[in-house]
Structure 1
């Protein structure tokens, strides 16, 4: 007999047994297990009718289907509802046919109650057995990695429930750890809260814990760092559940557990977006994204497509990244109209054809050269791409009546000491000047470094650690602002819904982080000890780099917006006619590859641009206790 038929037959027999047992047990209890003959006879006559009524009702309520091991509260209410209806139908039959003669009313009530309890009980016993709540019935005893869950909230309990229902995970849950005073000495999912995170070393030793699961999606970076440090100190393996920013739909699963990343250690409070406001300018709109294959551009694509635009136009000069993001979007959102376009923002003819054919209503301009040392060596290309390309794109947006144009800028545009930053500041100024006379709403967003972007410090560190070191840091005091890529792009989308045009929006980047601290944390997360297993070497600041970045010029000031993570700069762009004249001189110098003139003209357009040259040196960082800061 096939397995599913065998299972159905088994469930049917169990249901028949429960119905008959409940009925006769009710009679037995009513008469203290001494049933009179006339009542016994009436019970024998009624039993087939009761069985038929209840089995038909249970069939209609799908109680012969479903997996008992996954029974839940909704299932319990369904059983309750089915029993009430079946019992009412049976009472109606007994009243009409026998006028309840020799059918005690108490028997009818007890029959309903006992049947409901047995049907619910057998399912919950099955689930309890499957989830190891009844270890005395588990042949061979509990086996698996002894595991402790940090966080007894909803996420931790969902993890515990899944672990218990899936023996193939080979995890043996020992208990919870939680810092909430109200949860101390409590019990959740049958597991006790054994203490706080401060008690972790003692609990691990006492309970022979082999692995720790950090299940606090809303935890701050500081909380995660504290937990990770304790895990490192007692040399125990640990995994983490992603933060709420990654758990978009709120679902939690063991499959989402992963190793702790640097993003977790630097994480901040999750961003709350006004999705209605964002949807108002993206939903059913034609959206163009330049640099669509880059770190920021591709994430903008992933975020925008969720708002169901009429079509998503991906504009990218690199073939392979464009191919990858197109495939990803089409696979994840088959209903979306995704249009990949190969092209260069420096080609005016290509830009005009794209705008004429696709008629975008919203433009996110994320295409740019961003590597500081490389642009120092290639200033003409930096100007041609970052300034001229931005101007061509902004002019097209103005000419074709684009509704919203969002330019992605950088903190390096503030008091720039390098060509890359100066070129982005020049582009900011042009976009602001165009906003003064255009019907298009031009918005600029400015933020710092993003963790894990292509060519950024984190992937570089990972490669250096993978090859055994050394890890290279430019200077012991160099600091940078960091955001995660999803965090930055979510704020870009939010800022795009704000203002009248011409504004520069600044994002709350939190506190600046020392790069050497990042290097040390990443070495630890890789299973090594900094300064012992992996050396750290100072190489000296590279051309154009500075020790710290800023998000705001002193004269710009900053005003709050209705979003707590975004403020707006109150800077004023120069006169448009003067700016265009100076930009023409800049573009002419770039075309002629007159590099000294390029830098000179950049200083004219961006007066606060002060080039800085640094000598490249390298030295090994001694242990922190012996470092003497310069």
Structure 2
């Protein structure tokens, strides 16, 4: 409706307003006489007509001089009302004086009655239109309930009143001083009475207006609202609002890391910058999810030069553009060197390291998707194992100071080719670390990364928005999760702590059941899961069965009794390593089998190597399922901490 009014030409709007004001003055003038003397007492002569014309022209002139007709009626407020009211008082005085001037019949009460009627017609009509348009009565605004009746919540109500999307219905708050009272015309309810709101208003969105909230507290808020299947949105952080980057009504979805509710692992600044500041740093796989975040973190610690390496021109272009714009905004003189290349090309790697005098390497280039590598065994080994071997050899030859490998929890007792290749890549670096050279080789192992390409979170979001079904391989499957920034910071810190051949893992807390994650994500988007208990639900879950090589849950440690580090949430794994001759023999055997394109032999070799690779661990699955149901995790970080070390 507002949009249609906006399309009307200004000249037509002005004509309508002038006509309305003229008719209002006419009605007010004659009604004032009618109320005072009745119909029989009205005797209009040229004197009264002269008074009427004087009053009318004076009103239009005053309104024109004070820019009343340039004001937008939609935004009429108390200040505008007082302004018009003061002008009408002046007009009333002119009414009285002109009656004396023309010797017209004007009883003393007529100008006062005229003032009251014109105030109702002219100022009142404008106020009514402004109120209606402010409330957007002609629009279908979506009802929302605001969680938090304090300052941020009140600001949000004011911001929403200027838009045409949301209509605040009520507040939810836990503070006793607010509950049961009205704030800005909205009643404040305790969260325990959400059912009443749902019965009264039906399904609505909940806008969380708590700008400064601890992750654990936010998880509690989300947990109290999530069972009602109400879509949750949250206001930006206060720092973004104060800096002007965001406005309070720029709402966003509750992120999955906020849903999981684990406090972010705080980094140690000295460890973050140790291998970066004033050094020449290279990131392989710079265009991937982890590689991009590594680059974002690295530029904050002022390296001398950052070399970006990726085999994908498109991904390399994206991260190079992003970093270039970021550096321009910050007026940084850091040199960014984007290079297209494959880590499997040892000669190219040597050329790059020598040309740019690389001092620190973060090796994130790998094939990581389990099903893809399972169907492309040779490509997976070529990239993940031989590529790591080639770039590591080049690093030794060029005397690179630090080499950090991005590994995965799937390398622990692997059940798939991808995990086996990453474990073998770890053994390659552990073997090379024992040789006589000056390069430190460090490995960093972590679980699933929220929001990374191919992760379950964006897949679930896509499936929910399409109306389902949500596909899950097994109802009991569980996973560890961490955020992309956490993963990148772990890599940077571990590179500073390692002495050579070290494997580091992050204590990521308790694992998450994927089915529970699906339920929570669906509820947070305002939908429900269709199941036996809720056949009328919106989204169905479809269990597709474990994929080849997929575990019910992942582990982070192979051996027991990990060692403490400078960071209380980072552990150093205590695991066996092979001497380089044994590793070299395995690489030779794999290379020969790949030359013959003998995938069966390659799989057999992987099972024969000391990787604990078991592609079909049926008995192990059953055992671990029972342990999972009983709440047992023999090799989890939590149990190792209890049985071996106190890491707090």
Q: In 2, are the aligned partners of 1:468 and 1:534 still within 8 Å (CA)? A: yes
Q: Which moved more, 1:215-224 or 1:438-447?
A: 215-224
* Residue segments in structure 2 that go unaligned for 5+ positions in a row: 1-126, 531-536, 619-648
Q: Which moved more, 1:409-418 or 1:526-535?
A: 526-535
Counterpart CA distance in 1 for 2:337 and 2:353 is: 13
Q: Say if 2:576 is the partner of 1:572.
A: yes
Q: Which moved more, 1:248-257 or 1:483-492?
A: 248-257
Q: In 1, are the aligned partners of 2:236 and 2:248 still within 8 Å (CA)? A: no
Task: Give the match's secondary structure for 1:283.
Answer: coil
Aligned to 2:341: 343
Counterpart CA distance in 2 for 1:187 and 1:251 is: 33
Counterpart CA distance in 1 for 2:564 and 2:268 is: 16
Aligned to 2:419: 421
CA deviation profile, 1:583-628 (whole Å, cap 9, x unmatched): 22222222322222222322343341111188xxxxxxxxxxxxxx
Larger radius of gyration: 2
Deviation at 1:457, TM superposition (A): 2.3
Aligned to 1:254: 248
Structure 2 length-normalised TM: 0.65
1:461-480 matches, within 5 Å, as: 461-480=460-479
Task: Give the match's secondary structure for 1:353.
Answer: helix
Counterpart CA distance in 2 for 1:210 and 1:546 is: 39
Counterpart CA distance in 2 for 1:242 and 1:425 is: 41
Q: In 1, are the aligned partners of 2:160 and 2:167 still within 8 Å (CA)? A: no
1:303-342 matches, within 5 Å, as: 303-334=297-328, 335=332, 336-342=334-340
Task: Give the match's secondary structure for 2:459.
Answer: helix
Task: Give the match's secondary structure for 1:443.
Answer: strand
Counterpart CA distance in 1 for 2:262 and 2:476 is: 23
Q: In 2, are the aligned partners of 1:559 and 1:570 still within 8 Å (CA)? A: yes
Distance 1:504 1:535, change over 3 A: same
Aligned to 1:501: 500
Q: Say if 2:585 is the partner of 1:581.
A: yes
Aligned to 1:377: 375
Counterpart CA distance in 1 for 2:336 and 2:387 is: 23
Deviation at 1:186, TM superposition (A): 13
Distance 1:210 1:454, change over 3 A: closer
Aligned to 1:229: 226
Deviation at 1:279, TM superposition (A): 1.9
Deviation at 1:240, TM superposition (A): 1.3
Deviation at 1:401, TM superposition (A): 2.0
Deviation at 1:290, TM superposition (A): 0.9
Aligned to 1:299: 293
CA deviation profile, 1:467-493 (whole Å, cap 9, x unmatched): 433222111111111122222222222
CA deviation profile, 1:15-55 (whole Å, cap 9, x unmatched): xxxxxxxxxxxxxxxxxxxxxxxxxxxxxxxxxxxxxxxxx
1:161-176 matches, within 5 Å, as: 161=155, 164=158, 168-169=162-163
Counterpart CA distance in 2 for 1:486 and 1:246 is: 18
Aligned to 2:439: 440
Deviation at 1:140, TM superposition (A): 3.6
Deviation at 1:546, TM superposition (A): 1.4
Aligned to 1:602: 606
Counterpart CA distance in 2 for 1:551 and 1:524 is: 30
Counterpart CA distance in 1 for 2:444 and 2:151 is: 40
Counterpart CA distance in 1 for 2:167 and 2:460 is: 36
Aligned to 2:3: none
Deviation at 1:176, TM superposition (A): 6.3
Q: Say if 2:543 is the partner of 1:538.
A: yes
Q: Which moved more, 1:212-221 or 1:329-338?
A: 212-221
Q: In 1, are the aligned partners of 2:226 and 2:520 still within 8 Å (CA)? A: no
Aligned to 2:8: none
Counterpart CA distance in 2 for 1:592 and 1:247 is: 61
Deviation at 1:231, TM superposition (A): 5.1
Distance 1:204 1:139, change over 3 A: farther
Q: In 2, are the aligned partners of 1:380 and 1:591 still within 8 Å (CA)? A: no
Aligned to 1:364: 362
Aligned to 1:120: none
1:74-223 matches, within 5 Å, as: 140=131, 143=135, 149-151=146-148, 157=151, 160-161=154-155, 164=158, 168-169=162-163, 177=172, 179=174, 194=188, 197-201=191-195, 211-216=205-210, 217-220=213-216, 222-223=219-220
Q: In 1, are the aligned partners of 2:226 and 2:523 still within 8 Å (CA)? A: no
Aligned to 1:550: 555
CA deviation profile, 1:303-343 (whole Å, cap 9, x unmatched): 21222222221111111111111111111222342211111
CA deviation profile, 1:562-585 (whole Å, cap 9, x unmatched): 323211101231112222222222
Aligned to 2:263: 269
Aligned to 2:399: 401
Task: Give the match's secondary structure for 2:253.
Answer: coil
Distance 1:205 1:466, change over 3 A: closer
Counterpart CA distance in 2 for 1:355 and 1:525 is: 48
Q: In 2, are the aligned partners of 1:288 and 1:364 still within 8 Å (CA)? A: yes
Counterpart CA distance in 2 for 1:534 and 1:560 is: 45
Task: Give the match's secondary structure for 2:262.
Answer: coil
Aligned length: 471
Task: Give the match's secondary structure for 2:442.
Answer: strand
Aligned to 1:592: 596
Q: In 2, are the aligned partners of 1:545 and 1:612 still within 8 Å (CA)? A: no
Counterpart CA distance in 2 for 1:581 and 1:559 is: 30
1:442-457 matches, within 5 Å, as: 442-457=441-456
Q: In 2, are the aligned partners of 1:408 and 1:444 still within 8 Å (CA)? A: yes
Deviation at 1:193, TM superposition (A): 11
Counterpart CA distance in 2 for 1:245 and 1:481 is: 30
Counterpart CA distance in 2 for 1:248 and 1:398 is: 49
Counterpart CA distance in 1 for 2:254 and 2:373 is: 34
Q: In 2, are the aligned partners of 1:313 and 1:338 still within 8 Å (CA)? A: yes
